[in-house]
Amino acid sequence: MTKNVAQLMGDLESIGRDPLRGGYSRPGFGTHELTLLEWFVAEAESRGLDIERDRNGITWAWWDLPETATGSAADSGDKPNRAHAIATGSHLDSVPGGGAFDGPLGVASALASLDQLQEQERNGTLRRTRPLVIAVFPEEEGSRFGVACLGSRLITGAISPQRALALTDRDGSSFADAARAVGLNPEHMGADPARLSGLDAFLELHVEQGKFLGKDPLGPAVAVASSILGHGRWRFSFAGQGNHAGTTLMADRHDPMIAAAAFVVAVRDEVSAESGARGTVGRLEPIPGGTNVVASRVDVWLDVRHPDDVVTAGLVERLHHRATALADAEGCTVTMSEESMTGTVNFDGGLARGLLNSVERVAPGTQLLPSGAGHDAGILASVIPTGMIFTRNPTGISHAPEEYVEDADAQHGVDALTLALADLLTE
C-alpha cells in the first residue's frame, strides 16, 4: 500500500510524546527510537525493500535494481549489485521535548518518494541504472550519549569506537551497554569505508530549522542547503564545596552554582559580541542536586557555532578564561573538556546545483540556504557527495514542540526529492 508523507507522519504522531516537557522525547537507542525504527522496517519491507542493520546500528533499506537492469541480481548470482548506490534518509531520535519533524520527516519523505519512484518504474517512466537505499541513522541528536551524529561519526571514523563506547548517558549506562542491548557487537563497531564506497551520493530531506522560508512574505516551500555552520560542544565542570543550605553562612561558601550562573551570562555576552556566532547553555547539572544542598559540582554544557572554525576556537578559549576567573572568585575550580567539534561543511557544489534544478521545478524561487543545525549529511560529506533539501517551517522554531510543516509543503518536499533522486538514479 502506498502512503503520502502526511499519512506516514500520522503513523508516528503518538509515539514518544513527552507530557512533561511537551513535544517528543525519543532518545537514541531508547524504546521510542526503536519503535519508530520497527515502523520504518515494516513500511520498507511492505515495499519490497531488503533491510540490513550494519555494525554501527545504521539501518539500510535497499531498493535493488530490477532484474532486467545491467549488473543486477539476475546476472551476478544471488547477491544484488549494490555498487554506485544513491542513498537518502535521516534519523528517528529527538532532543528532549523536541518537535515531530526533525528527523522523522526525512525518513517519511524517503518512503513517500520511494512510492512515487516505484510507480514510475512500474509504468516505465523510470529506468534506473543504480540502486536506491534508505538510511536511518541512530542517535543523531546526541541527546542520550552527548555526541551528535553518533552513527555517521562511527561509520566515517570521525569518532573512534573506543571513545564512543565509553560515552555514558544521564543514568550512567554506557553506549557499549546500549549497543549490546539492541543486539550490536561493540567489538565490531567503527569505520566502514567499504560500505561507504558503495554510495555515490547521500540526500537528506529535513524540516527547515530557522526562519528563512517561513518569514513574512512566505518564501518557497522548499530550499537547498549550501553549508552547515561549524559547531561543537564543551563541558565545563565547576567544582566547590558541597554543604548545608541552612548552616553555611553566605561568606563561607564555595558554591559552584554561583560561578556557573555567572558563566551562563558571560557566554551570552562574549558570543553576542562575535558577529555570526551562536552560543547556548541548554543543559546544566548541579551535583548532588538537592534544594537544601549547596552543590559540590555543577556541570555546564556549552554549544558554540560559527562559520569560521578559527573564530569558534578563539571564542571557546576566551570563555575558558572567563570560566576560570569566575570560578576563582568563588574559591572554586573549573575544568573544560571538548565533547565534539565539527568544522564548517560546504556541501558538494555539483549536487547542490542538480538539487536546485529539481527543487525549482516544484517550488519556484528556490534558494540556497546555510544550515545553523548539524546533520548526518554534514558528517558524511567528508567521504561522499551529500546534499540537503529543506521543507518550510512556518513557525521558524525547532528543537521545540512548535516545530511545524504544512502537509502541502511536506508534499512539495517529497516531490522535489523524487525529482532529484530520479535524476541521480538514472545518471
Residues annotated within the binding site for Zn(2+) are 91, 102, 141, 206, 399
Instruction: Render 88-155 in DSSP notation, one character per residue.
Output: EEEE----TTB-SSTTHHHHHHHHHHHHHHHHHHHTTS---SS-EEEEEES-SS-TTTS-SSHHHHHH
Q: Which grid cell is 77?
A: 548470482
Name which of 148 and 239 has its Cβ closer to ligand GLV.
Answer: 148
Q: Determine contact, residues 80/130, Cβ cutoff 8 Å.
A: no
The nearest distance, CB 406 to ligand GLV, in angstroms, is 21
The nearest distance, CB 398 to Mn ion, in angstroms, is 7
**Residue 148 interacts with ligand GLV (CB under 6 A)?**
yes
Cite the annotated binding site for allantoate by residue number: 233, 292, 305
The nearest distance, CB 245 to ligand GLV, in angstroms, is 35
CA pair distance 140, 231, nearest whole angstrom: 14
103 binds, among Mn ion, ligand GLV, none (CB under 5 to 8 A by kind): Mn ion
CA pair distance 250, 327, nearest whole angstrom: 16
CA pair distance 11, 4, nearest whole angstrom: 11
Residue that has been written with the C-alpha cell 546526541 in this structure: 142
Single residue of 43, 64, 141, 376 touching ligand GLV by CB under 6 A: 141
- Strand 59-63 and strand 85-91: the pairing is unpaired
What are 369's strand-pairing partners? Answer: 225
Cite the annotated binding site by residue number: 91, 102, 141, 206, 233, 292, 305, 399
Q: Which of residues 185-204 bind ligand GLV (CB under 6 A)?
A: none
Name which of 332 and 373 has its Cβ closer to ligand GLV.
Answer: 373
- Strand 85-91 and strand 132-137: the pairing is parallel
148 binds, among Mn ion, ligand GLV, none (CB under 5 to 8 A by kind): ligand GLV
The nearest distance, CB 316 to ligand GLV, in angstroms, is 16
CA pair distance 193, 195, nearest whole angstrom: 5
Instruction: Render 369-408 in DSSP notation, one character per residue.
Output: EEESS--HHHHHTTTS-EEEEEE--TT---SSTT----HH
Name which of 220 and 374 has its Cβ closer to ligand GLV.
Answer: 374
**Residue 232 interacts with ligand GLV (CB under 6 A)?**
no
279 binds, among ligand GLV, Mn ion, none (CB under 5 to 8 A by kind): none
Name which of 82 and 392 has its Cβ closer to ligand GLV.
Answer: 392
Name which of 97 and 331 has its Cβ closer to Mn ion.
Answer: 97
Question: Whose CB is nearest to Mn ion?
Answer: 102
CA pair distance 234, 283, nearest whole angstrom: 11
Phi and psi angles of residue 266, each rounded to the nearest 5 degrees, phi first: -60, -35
CA pair distance 65, 233, nearest whole angstrom: 42
Q: Which of residues 324-383 bind ligand GLV (CB under 6 A)?
A: 373-374
270 binds, among ligand GLV, Mn ion, none (CB under 5 to 8 A by kind): none
Determine the residue type at 209.
Answer: Q
Name which of 80 and 374 has its Cβ closer to ligand GLV.
Answer: 374
Q: Where along the sequence are the contacts to Mn ion (CB under 5 A)?
A: 102-103
The nearest distance, CB 107 to ligand GLV, in angstroms, is 15
Interface residues with ligand GLV (CB under 6 A) are 141, 148, 373-374
